[in-house]
A and B are shown apart, each in its own frame.
Chain A
Amino acid sequence: AQSVTQLGSHVSVSEGALVLLRCNYSSSVPPYLFWYVQYPNQGLQLLLKYTTGATLVKGINGFEAEFKKSETSFHLTKPSAHMSDAAEYFCAVSSSGGSYIPTFGRGTSLIVHP
């Protein structure tokens, strides 16, 4: 079985401030982890993914995430928020234990203040 918990349904930051969106997962087998972004009235777009190898992964738009097995976490960060980063962010996990069907968290809405 696999699951994802995203802490905080809303995160508010000032433009230029650090962005930190939290994601914890549960998986009985090695997971594959993803962060997606959804802009209003659009589908989901992949930001970054972890499969194997380097635990710090870099994605588009300056985002990065670190896979920490000991903490079962895959938090998303960006050093400096931009107004255009305002969107809904989803963490997802897939694994052989879940038939490789991605399981998504409830999402975190990122609000960026000028």
Chain B
Amino acid sequence: GAGVSQSPSNKVTEKGKDVELRCDPISGHTALYWYRQSLGQGLEFLIYFQGNSAPDKSGLPSDRFSAERTGGSVSTLTIQRTQQEDSAVYLCASNPRAGHTEAFFGQGTRLTVV
């Protein structure tokens, strides 16, 4: 497709389980971002990939969170030992290149930890 694709769109998991969220960016986009949107909150930056550079992980809230980007394309955000406070919408965005161009967002994955 032409846009950023995220899967699954909804995920319900039990506390303590691991989850993987997937993001397919727009083809050719070198920059990829993950954000977390909690109820009533803005977008919290998690991690940023730019080309082959080392990712900026400064926004990851704990070591239970990790992400990788394979082949400069698809990215997976992994949350280990999920907690109820991890419940949120996880948004992925891509950008043709870092800079003044806007980020293009996927529709998000709604994660509910029960």
Contacts and interface: CB of A to CB of B under 8 A. Distances in A.
Interface of A: 6, 9, 32, 34, 36, 41-46, 49, 51-52, 90, 94, 99-107
13 contacts: A34-B102, A36-B105, A43-B4, A44-B91, A49-B100, A51-B100, A100-B98, A101-B33, A101-B45, A102-B93, A104-B35, A104-B42, A105-B42
B9 to A, nearest CB: 9
Contacts of B31: 100
A51 B104 CA distance: 16
Contacts of B100: 32, 49, 51-52, 94
Interface string B74-114: 00000000000000000101000011101111111000000
Nearest to A99: B56
Nearest to B33: A101
A60 B4 CA distance: 20
A80 to B, nearest CB: 26
A77 B100 CA distance: 22
B99 to A, nearest CB: 5
A42 B31 CA distance: 21
B85 to A, nearest CB: 18
A103 to B, nearest CB: 7
Nearest to B59: A101
A99 B91 contact: no
B12 interface: no
A106 B42 contact: yes
B33 A104 contact: no
Nearest to B43: A104
Interface string B50-69: 00000010000000000000
Nearest to A100: B98
B41 interface: yes
